[in-house]
Chain A
Amino acid sequence: MAAASVTVPSFDVLELGDIVAERSFELTRDSLVRYAGASGDFNAIHYRDDVAREVGLPGVLAHGMLTMGLAVQPVVDWVGDPGRVADYQVRFTRPVLVDPDSGAVVSVVAKVGQLDADAHVARIDLTVTFDGQTVLGKAQVRVSLG
């Protein structure tokens, strides 16, 4: 399913450690409500402070799957086609607290972590941070390149 009309990054020029994409995302409570509706995950800890506190959380958290979903987007834009993402995994290591007024900023840096020259598949490793700390562990995207 190669995208003929989009320029795909060339596998041959990539080197381990290259930063291929970087982007910051501003999340608000609105973002969480929007994601709840789109995904069908209506767990109230993602939109109600009282419920979040009842279960011992400091406040409303972003859905882990929202963080996972947005963190891959800089890589999708780099390869130009979501269909080139063959495998994507993350570990949820720390929550993203979304303040009702100031929201939360999630930053993504995407680096080349491994290169499979036979298959022309690159493993892109994501560093995803909020408030100076990483929130996803072992965040790896495998993309098929030309």
Chain B
Amino acid sequence: MNPELQGRVFPPTEPYLVGREKVREFARAVFASNPVNVDPDAARAAGYDDVVAPPTFAVVMQEKTLAQLLAEPDAGIDFSRVVHGDQRFTSSRPIVAGDLLTATLTVSSVKTLGAHSMVTAESSVTDAAGAHVVTAVSTLVVRGEE
């Protein structure tokens, strides 16, 4: 992997409109049965404008930023050798249906450990007003040739 990736900041992704049915679909997929996740009336009663996404929903935006990283011509990352090492979401507020979100990827570190490389990618998600919503930090391990 190219060590010069460290510190690189990518262009913001195209704005992503969070749909109510997408939130419900994702909630069902992660076994989230809380009414706030699926029922707009329950969400409104809890003080939200619409259904609330599960805590890991930002992975949908993160996928788009990681696609940018893997497509970077000089990155030298072989996708078939990538293993997800760890993951973190730090939220200022939950994602709610109706949000228009943009994600910006920063490669915060690139390390080599023997034959393996580790890249830590930080996707900062902001709303239409430019306010921070959540930061998704992912460490990918690229296994070396055996």
A and B: bona fide binding partners: yes
**Which A residues are closer than 8 A to B by beta carbons?**
1-6, 25, 31, 34-35, 37-41, 55, 64-66, 68-70, 72-73, 76-77, 80-83, 85-92, 138, 141
How far apart are the CA atoms of A138 and B22 in the complex, in Å?
29
| Number of B interface residues in the complex (CB < 8 A) | 36
Q: List 9 A-B contacts (CB under 8 A).
A: A34-B28, A35-B30, A38-B25, A38-B30, A70-B30, A80-B34, A81-B36, A86-B90, A87-B91
**Chain A to chain B: the 10 pairs with minimum beta-carbon distance, closest first:** A69-B30, A38-B29, A89-B88, A3-B46, A83-B94, A69-B56, A91-B86, A85-B55, A35-B29, A38-B26
Q: Which residues of A contact B26 (CB under 8 A)?
A: 38-39
User: Nearest chain B CB to A90's CB is how many angstroms away?
Assistant: 6
Chain B positions 37 through 70: 1 when the CB is less than 8 Å from some CB of chain A, otherwise 0? 1000000011110001111100110010000000
A90–B87 contact, CB under 8 A? yes
B residues near A141, Cβ cutoff 8 Å: 55
Q: How far does the Cβ of B42 sit from chain A's closest Cβ, in whole Å?
A: 8
Q: A3-B36, A5-B45, A88-B56 are in contact. Are A73 and B31 (CB under 8 A)?
A: yes
Contacts of B33 in A (CB 8 A): 73, 77
Q: Kindly identify which residue among A1, A55, A73, A90 contacts B30, using a CB–CB cutoff of 8 Å.
A: A73
State the main secondary structure of chain A at its contact with B: mixed
A63 to B94, CA, bound (A): 23
Contact B28 A40 (CB under 8 A): no
Closest CB-CB distance, B121 to chain A, in whole Å? 14
Q: Are B87 and A68 in contact (CB under 8 A)?
A: yes
Nearest-CB residue, chain B, relative to A141? B55
Q: Which chain B residues numbered 67 to 92 have a C-beta less than 8 Å away from chain A?
A: 80, 83-91
